[in-house]
Structure 1
Amino acid sequence: MSDTTTTSLLDAITVPAAEGRAIPDAATGETMGHAPVHDVEHLNRAVAAARAAQPAWAALGHAERSAILHRTADEIDAHAEELARIIAQEQGKPLNGPGARFEAGGCAAWIRNAADTALDPEVVFEAPGTRSELHYGPLGVVGAIGPWNWPAMIAIWQIAPALRMGNTVVSKPSEYTPLSVLAVAELMNRHLPEGVLTVVSGGRDVGEGIAAHPDIDKVMFTGSTKTGRAIVKSSAGNLARLTLEMGGNDPGIILPGTDVKAIAENLFWGVFINTGQTCAALKRLYVHDSQYEEVVRTLADMAASMPMGPGLDESSVLGPLSTKQQFDIVSSLVEDARSRGARIVTGGEAAPELGPHFYRATVVADIDDGARLVDEEQFGPAIPVIRYTDVDDAVARANASDQGLGASVWGSDVAEAVAVAQRIEAGTVWINQHGTLNPDVPFGGVKGSGYGMEFGREGLKAVSAPKVITV
């Protein structure tokens, strides 16, 4: 264990350049540190250690495990600024607003929620002379595979409930953002028993190894649908339980008569949180013809005025795309829209004066279904705004995607909005907001966005082995 009194958090998790892989600052491209390079052999050792540590961890009981988790949350709070700066550099999100400090604070909040959520035995049947109870115990070893967009917080969404229920965890972060997850684990492991939580900082071979490993009982994955399908195939041999959150092309529908000024701020952040790099961000917006231009202009004005810059700049509100790959995807989708005659109201171009992966916040109008920017998940700061005249048609178009993570309905008549929400095929439908998550409220997708629930009681059940005891 590192000397926590003299060593910075970044120094505690990085390795010498000769032994590791350079991790760039997302805004500048300059090396911020070196991550260890782990392979399948490291994974096998981690799983063996997790398997050995699991019985004793489970035997501590819920109260003691929860107390330890609270201490890990306190540790994260004590180093929240250091953690936030690592996230801001590595992933690119600004420190302020719904950014890196928000993510660091969210890690501690989600740990405490998992520690405090009750999951008592349920009486499912009772009659004279007999009673059946549903109990929940640990599964064993959980393999957690995380993404690069909210690396620390999504890792905690996987780790915290698994540990709370008595499982041990082997976590594999994205190759693009390993330092954020290594930092969270470093802080937590100052209080956890050895072997209970291990981060394996490897590549695709490690992810494939987790999915197929005979000693892993549960796989939790957040990432692309393509990779999720591969995990399903790989897990067939060991029959590991799965929770898959595979992103989405989230639609929003603005109903006629909506007070646009009242929803403007929530609408903007529903689209542009983390510079659009959020699974449950609003990705395509359907607006009634009667208010189309007002919505387009409102969004465009806000997008053009939001300060964009490096994550460590205190004045930044929007940051860069995390990787060149994602920058190229966003650029390609916007150029395709332009070639189809769509109207680029604001943005639509790189901002090279800010750094290599900056793309200006973009609002695209006069575009329709069939354009790549509408049909494909852009995962960046570019929103297509699609005109409609009939609500039934808007619902049908919203449901046409093979993904179904989140959706939103916007309107001044909440009852009408809820009625429309009932018809949308998505795991979560928000009213007059989009992408807001609550650790007490279950979250998960349908269709190509995956299956299984996270958060709250349902999230604890997802990392548990149910057992019926009939007396």
Structure 2
Amino acid sequence: MSAQHPDRPDAPIVDGPHDPEHDPTASYALEPEYVASLTRRVTSTTGRTAEVRTPISGAPLAHVPQSSEADVAEAFAKARRAQAAWSRTSLDHRAAIMMRLHDLVLDRQEEIIDLIVWESGKARKHAFDEPLHIALTARYYARTVHEHLDTRRRPGVVPGLTRIDVNRVPKGVVGIISPWNYPFTMALCDGLPALMAGNAVVAKPDSQTMLSALLGAQLLEEAGFPRDLWQVVAGPGSEVGPQVIGGSDYVCFTGSTATGRRVAAGCAEQLIGCSLELGGKNPLLVLRDADVEKAAEGAVRGSFSNAGQLCVSAERLFVADQVYDRFVERFVARTQAMTLGATLEWGSDMGSLISQAQLETVTAHVEDAVAKGARVLTGGRARPDLGPYVFEPTILEGVTPDMTCFGEETFGPVVSLYRFHDEADAIARANAGEYGLNAAIYSQDGDRARAVARQVTCGTVNINEAFAATFASVDAPMGGMRQSGMGRRQGSEGIHRYTETQSVATQRLVRLAPMLGMSDETYARVMTAQMRLMKKLGRA
């Protein structure tokens, strides 16, 4: 239901289920034994812990052991020993374990969702996306492992006499540094193909959401993966992150562009590869022939899923003049109809931000825009009555380049509207800035929309959908262009990044050198004639 602020009649209040007398969140607590079963999986001998608080109420949730430099070194030592044995297992054996993980995640989804909501404060329906994505990823790589990793034959230099086999060899130990916004899926989804390729993993989840990542590690062991194959370390990223990079054979990082640059520099120093999914200021284009109702519905999901704390969420909406007024009316109405709630229960359309720091960033962006002339069409303020870090879904109009939210990623439930008259101009404005992660295009002409998509500088583009179509299509690569990252997750690229290619050549009967008393000069003439013959025969 919607109501009005008593001091601002034009601004909606979006209410959710937050009655302390009826909300199970108010009295629910994690059992100490359950927390201990998770936190003991952290490699730690320091005796130090860090407190984790829930965004739902701000109350303490757990105390997570912290890892020392020696602990990180021990985690890598254990992982290397486990990887040596794991790399000799068959692909079918790995796939069978991965399929058991698929079933476990679906069977335990309520437990997983509870923990995600406790740690992140997101709406339950958005937390459901995480076990769903992990199940999709596990099933995909289990079913396609031979397609990606089987040894392949390639043509040799001398047809019939030179055999070439190309093997996919595991890198060794992969370091995964994962963020807080999708604490279960981001902790696991990049590591699953690493395991399938024969690697071990040392994971450093974000300190705010360690429990979800630790539950993922527990489920991996329950599915049948060797325990030491997946190590978890904990601590501030500035302290533990460089140690993870220093011990890894490959690093996968998801987070901010600023931190991603430091990760890339550390990997360059080690001469190891990395894949980085970084920030985005993602555009959504509503073309003149768009279905306005579908576009408005998609814009709500695209802008406010997980309270906008999603790397691929839309923060800039470019709407054709022909449909602008109708779209804005429907978009604002749908946004005002949303329900907010910091709760474990189903029924909320949007949950909480993760922390006070995130709330302050979102508030600062909105206040800066308003002070410089932007108009708030709906939302625009924090809702401490619903939760300590809840902020209303906010639509801004009249945002200009001098405003912070124009070019900087807000990473919250704030979106800016821009009218366009010329489609080429809209594409140019969508491509402006330094990012290139995700885009969405709404049009009833699929061919035309796909042609527009090729002109948009983003790693993923969704047509008549905000982000879920590419994110859930795990056979397709996903990642950013420009300052939004490098490398790709999902699909063949998502598993091949964790392997080295090894070419093995077997030469039969003749050597690739002069034979039978042939002079070097004669050998050169024979080889030249063979090159001309190969061209006539159409050989590569």
The answer, yes or no, to whether TM exceeds 0.5 is yes
Aligned counterpart in structure 1 of residue 198 of structure 2, from 148, 166, 173: 166
Q: Is the 8 A contact 1:408 1:430 kept in 2?
A: yes
Q: 1:402 to 1:168 in 2, by over 3 A?
A: same
Letter in 2 for 1:145: I
Q: How does 1:181-192 map to 2 (within 5 A)?
A: 181-190=213-222, 191-192=224-225
* Alignment gaps of 5+ in structure 2: 1-30, 41-46, 507-540
1:59, 1:150 → 2: CA distance? 32
Q: Deviations over 1:193-229 (max 9, x none)?
A: 131001112212111211223xx10000000011110
1:113, 1:373 → 2: CA distance? 38
Q: 1:122 to 1:408 in 2, by over 3 A?
A: farther
Q: 1:259 to 1:76 in 2, by over 3 A?
A: closer
**1:297 Cα deviation after fit:** 2.0
Q: Is the 8 A contact 2:187 2:203 kept in 1?
A: yes
Partner of 1:460: 495
Partner of 1:86: 115
Query: What TM-score comes out, normalization by structure 2 length?
Result: 0.82
1:392, 1:133 → 2: CA distance? 48
Larger radius of gyration: 2
> When the two structures are aligned, how many residues end up with a matched partner?
461
2:318, 2:203 → 1: CA distance? 38
Partner of 2:152: 122
**1:19 Cα deviation after fit:** 5.2
Letter in 2 for 1:469: V
1:124, 1:266 → 2: CA distance? 46
Q: 1:8 to 1:73 in 2, by over 3 A?
A: farther
Partner secondary structure for residue 474 of structure 2: coil
Quick check: 1:448 aligned with 2:483? Answer: yes
Partner of 1:202: 235
After the TM superposition, list the runs of 4 or more consecutive aligned residues in structure 1 that deviate by more than 6 angstroms. Answer: none
**1:300 Cα deviation after fit:** 1.4
Letter in 1 for 2:497: A
Q: How does 1:31-430 map to 2 (within 5 A)?
A: 31-96=60-125, 99-117=126-144, 118-119=147-148, 120-125=150-155, 127-190=159-222, 191-204=224-237, 205-213=239-247, 216-430=248-462
Letter in 2 for 1:13: L
2:494, 2:166 → 1: CA distance? 16
2:227, 2:346 → 1: CA distance? 38
Partner of 2:37: 12
1:144, 1:109 → 2: CA distance? 20
* Alignment gaps of 5+ in structure 1: 1-5
Partner secondary structure for residue 340 of structure 2: coil
**1:334 Cα deviation after fit:** 0.9
Q: Deviations over 1:312-365 (max 9, x none)?
A: 132222001111111111111111111121110000011110111000011111
Identity %: 35
2:184, 2:234 → 1: CA distance? 14
Letter in 2 for 1:64: H
1:65, 1:288 → 2: CA distance? 50
Greater shift, 76-85 or 394-403, is seen at 76-85
Q: Is the 8 A contact 2:291 2:442 kept in 1?
A: no
Q: 1:31 to 1:426 in 2, by over 3 A?
A: same
**1:129 Cα deviation after fit:** 2.7
Partner secondary structure for residue 189 of structure 2: helix
2:69, 2:326 → 1: CA distance? 54
Letter in 2 for 1:185: A
Letter in 1 for 2:80: R
